[in-house]
Structures are given as structure tokens and as C-alpha cells.
Structure 1
């Protein structure tokens, strides 16, 4: 007689946890390095640049910032030169923010994937991470705000951590949980108004 006991159902497949992180002012404090690079660019070009003002609003793409200082027809060339100067001026002075290495390591310890999605030029982003011993599974650069959502969706990220309202917009575009930290230019009120699901003081 055949057994009437039911066979156990297979466990439903769940996608592995993938957490995305912004770079500047989320994982690293790059203000000193960015200021040094702008000083070098200013010296070369003779264009006055207030680097303290620049580092007070880190987040949006480089060309948006350069447009405050250079005529429109010179922005592209200034951007190319800035990116070329960056490795020699910005990598060494930049530091890991508290909890950055630990946050990446914890995601991986849980069997998940940690990715970095940043507006920064990707080769320079990778130089920062290598210098500081931060080891994500993937680095995707040159994306800002909603465009970050495309990479987050492509990599199946369920969470995106960032410090800027542009990062919140990226998370929202991807349908990911938006975790914001107030280590960058945006305060808790701005981040919550933009739609952040969780706001933390930092990554610790």
C-alpha cells in the first residue's frame, strides 16, 4: 500500500542579500583629497576655486561642480584633468569612515554581496577602496541619483546605503530599502523628506 505521508515541500528560493553602498562620505571621508585635487587644478588652470565650498557639497557628478567655476566650454576638459590629477592628490589623504570596513565585512559574513555604486570615476573609486582595504564584491562608477537605481536593479540590491538625497532617489528608483547616514552634506530632515526609510548617524 502506498504511503499517504506527504513529501516535504522544497524551501522557496530566496535571492541572496545584496547591499549597495555609496562611496564618498558614506564609506570614505574624501574631503581632504578632493580639496587637494581642486587646489592642484586651480594652480594649473589659474581658475580660482573655493575648495572648502566644494567639499561642503560632495555628492553630485564632478561636472556639475566644475560648472560653478569654469565656462561651459571648458568643463569637459577640466573634468578630464581633474580625474588625471586625482590619484596623486586624493587617495592618500582620504580615510575610511567609522564602520565602513565592518559594514562591508558583515554583509559578506551573512552570505550576502556588498557592492559600491558611486558617481565617482570608477578607476579612482577602486583606487580608494584598495588603498583603504575595503573589499566590496563589485564597484560601479559614474552613476548619480536615479541612474544608480539601474545598477542596483541589475545587481539585485535590496538595500542601498548613502549620505545624499541623490542616493535616496537611487534607492527609490531601484525599489530598494533606503538607508541614509548623516555623515555627508545632507541632514536627517533632508534625507527623510527625500524618502529615506532609515536614517543613521553613521555606519557604526
Structure 2
């Protein structure tokens, strides 16, 4: 496992939904609008408990497979007017991005979300990453992470952990989405923080050799880190 700075300037990748933004309110509203528009029942309460995978993975629960592509297009077209202003930043998101910059690094966003809508979210919230790459899920994220030279990838889903590991990046996980801390550790997360508010302190104190455990008393310390030491 490489050090976050082993290849030069630090680049940290962040997932978007449920990592940097709480997209549940906006997505919930958009699913209800799609259900009304199409006359198809969608359990929006259930759908927002399993955010992370691509949109088609959710729509296949509610529409025949041969309609999923068309419904994805319709959902994405409706999304800007419904979901953007309803979606807040996660607590600590702006500070996490700022911490990377203060460290002299680059902060990028790599997400499964449709890239134009991801861009609208970030612009609305005033979050300005150095790069945004959308439409990538799980191990697919490794392509962008490697191209961008990311040494760290921060996400809330086991798919994000898999993407980080496939890229040879350090996996930092936050249980602020559908996966709890135990699931994230079991998937192979190197570090599990309670939420992004702990990220700046972690970044400032993280040893250059990630095999060395930090002080277990540090906020957000993960016992998974010690287990790998």
C-alpha cells in the first residue's frame, strides 16, 4: 500500500453522494416526481437507503429492464430542477477539501453520479474540486484515480473501498451513507473516520508509512489501521 504522498504532490479523491453531499432529500423528491410522471410506484424511502451504485441499479427494481435506459434519461433530465437546491453539503465537506489544499495537494471528485448533475451540485454548494470525473462506479473509479495520481480515496460505500484498492490508493471511509463502519472495515478500508469532520486532523497527523498505526486515542482512529500495522 503506497503512502499518500509517495508519488509526489498529494492528490485526494472524494466520492460525492453521502460523502460530500447529503443527496437523500433531492433524490427522494426526484424519485417521487418520476413515479408521478410515469404512473409507476417507486418506494423512494427505500431507494435512498441504498445510494451509491449507478442509477440503473436502482431503477431496475421499479421498471422493466427494457425501460431502464429511457427512465434513466428522464430522471436525469428532471433532476436539476428538483434535486439540486434540496441537497446540502455533508458536515465537514468544505473543510475536508480545504485541508487537502492547505496540505499543498489537489482535491478531486470521482463519482458514479451523472457528471453534469454532479457538477451542478458542486457549483450550487460552492465546492470547487480540482477535477470532477463522473459515471464511474466501484472498481471503475480506479481508472480515474490512477490517471489523476490519487494516493487517497475517501468514500462512504464498500464500492468506494473497492475502487480505492483497485487503484492502489489508501481507502479512507466514512459511515455516513448506506454502509456502516463494520461493513467498510470488512471490505478493506484502511481507515474509518466517524465523518468528514475528522478528516483534517487525520490528514495532518497521518504517518508517511500507512502501515504505522496512529495513536488509538486520535479522533476517528480506525482499529482497522492498527490491525494492518
Q: Give your verdict on TM over 0.5.
A: yes
Equivalent residue for 1:117? 110
Helix, strand or coil for the counterpart of 1:40?
Answer: helix
1:120 and 1:164 map into 2 onto residues whose CA distance is 14
The question of 1:90 aligning with 2:83 is answered: yes
Equivalent residue for 2:120? 127
What is the TM-score normalised by the length of structure 2? 0.83
Structure 1 residue 14: Cα displacement: 5.1
Q: Which residue, 39, 42, 55 being the options, matches 2:32?
A: 39
The question of 1:185 aligning with 2:192 is answered: no
Unaligned runs of 5+ in 1: 1-12
Q: Which residue, 80, 94, 97 being the options, matches 1:101?
A: 94
Paired residues, number: 192
What is the TM-score normalised by the length of structure 1? 0.93
Equivalent residue for 2:151? 158
2:30 and 2:131 map into 1 onto residues whose CA distance is 26
2:85 and 2:23 map into 1 onto residues whose CA distance is 10
The question of 1:16 aligning with 2:9 is answered: yes
Q: Which residue, 190, 200, 211 being the options, matches 1:197?
A: 190
Equivalent residue for 1:28? 21
Equivalent residue for 2:64? 71
Deviating beyond 3 angstroms after TM superposition, the runs of 4 or more aligned structure 1 residues are none
Helix, strand or coil for the counterpart of 1:63?
Answer: helix
After superposition, what is the alpha-carbon deviation per residue over 1:24-60, rounded to whole angstroms, capped at 9, x for unaligned? 0000001000001111110110000000000000000
CA RMSD of aligned residues (A): 0.9
After superposition, what is the alpha-carbon deviation per residue over 1:55-89, rounded to whole angstroms, capped at 9, x for unaligned? 00000000000000000110000000000000000
Please state which structure has a larger fraction of its residues in strand: 1
Structure 1 residue 201: Cα displacement: 1.0
Helix, strand or coil for the counterpart of 2:56?
Answer: helix
1:14 and 1:109 map into 2 onto residues whose CA distance is 18
Unaligned runs of 5+ in 2: 1-5, 198-229
1:196 and 1:152 map into 2 onto residues whose CA distance is 16
1:43 and 1:17 map into 2 onto residues whose CA distance is 46
